[in-house]
Amino acid sequence: MPAPPRAPARPPSPARAVSTRATAAMALALAAASCGGAGARPESAEAPLAVWTAASIARPVRAALDSFTARTGVATRLEVQSSLELARRMTELGETPDVLLLADRAVFPALLAPAHVERWTVFARNRIVVAWSPRSRHAAEFAGSARWWEILERPGVEVGRADPATDPSGYRTLLVFQLAERHYRVPGLARRLLAAAPERNVRPREADQIPLVEAGELDYVWTYENLARNAGLPYQVLPGAVDLGTLAESTGYAAARLRVPGRTRRDSITITGAPIAYALAVPRAAPHPDGARRLADFLLGPDGRRILRMTALDAIERPVVESLPPATSR
């Protein structure tokens, strides 16, 4: 069968870790933030703000929180889990953070609104890539291969992915499989890609996979671009019609759909393909609402965006506030 035509891909982002220069720049930004807040009066000491974040953005969020504390004197406590695990802590265990940052904006209307969250703000984008290490089997062949999926299927090649039941990266990877079959016009490709990444190589959180590639336990991994870049791993940029990272492809993405099972039927959600969008919210029952709103404003503002970008996250210049339609939220 002749190789299917390959759609022109967007120019790939550099597959390397954040440079020393970028790291130094971030340090300067943090120092500047600290100095810039010298005129501000720190808040009185109290329990730190509880911040829950998706694992895939733990690094940029941690950097931004450090800057916020240096500027305001307000302490924070960061907890990192997969997005669905965080949402279910609220719906099933009754726990509530001050600020919640999730890897999929769709989780807010599906599980948390209106009981736990009134509105949420989309603040960053990402895309799905295939990452590997220089030691991975067939690495030299994989880069730029027109039929890259055939390398993933070779005997002995270990491919990893995140758990779709707990991590948005996991169900997004399955959506990418569907979109790849449609784009490349290879019948059965989605099923083949799933078989190439067997259950033994599935991890609960997206961020758990990168160390396994670095250690040589996995050869390739379906992951977010920011994680591959932060780790300095080479990665394959997929066509915009496949990678869930191109706004102009929104209509095509919507052709992919799957059901994500929860612990109960009420906890299960149907996911439709859409451009990857991260969102944050201050829950209705936030323990420290004033401090939480202050932190959210910082994360969404110019200083927060600058720090997020320094850690390879695509922060949106103008964050978008969303909520349920009035008839739905009653």
pLDDT at 231 exceeding the cut of 80? yes
| Mean pLDDT confidence for 304-326 | 94
Predicted confidence band at 206 (pLDDT cuts at 50, 70, 90)?
confident
Closest CA to 86 of 64, 61, 63: 61
pLDDT at 271 exceeding the cut of 90? yes
More confident: 39 or 181: 181
Identify the sign of the CA torsion 11, 171, 207, 87. positive
Return the pLDDT at 24. 38
Task: State the pTM of this model.
Answer: 0.84
What's the gap between Cα 165 and its chain centre?
15
pLDDT at 179 exceeding the cut of 60? yes
Predicted confidence band at 7 (pLDDT cuts at 50, 70, 90)?
very low
8 A C-beta contact, residue 189 and residue 3: no
Domains of the chain: 20-126+278-329 (3.40.190.10), 128-259 (3.40.190.10)
Predicted confidence band at 26 (pLDDT cuts at 50, 70, 90)?
very low
Return the pLDDT at 261. 83
More confident: 19 or 116: 116
8 A C-beta contact, residue 171 and residue 194: no
Q: Which tens digit of pLDDT belongs to each residue from 192-204?
A: 999 999 999 999 9
| Mean pLDDT confidence for 224-238 | 96
Give me the helices (H) in the chain, please. Answer: 20-36, 58-72, 83-93, 107, 139-142, 148-152, 168-184, 189-196, 210-214, 225-231, 250-253, 289-300, 302-310, 326-329
Percent over 90 (pLDDT), the chain: 79
Predicted confidence band at 3 (pLDDT cuts at 50, 70, 90)?
very low
Q: Which tens digit of pLDDT belongs to each residue from 148-163?
A: 999 999 999 999 999 9
Q: Which tens digit of pLDDT belongs to each residue from 275-291?
A: 999 999 999 999 999 99
| Mean pLDDT confidence for 25-51 | 52
Return the pLDDT at 207. 86
Tokens 């609220």 belong to which residue?
90
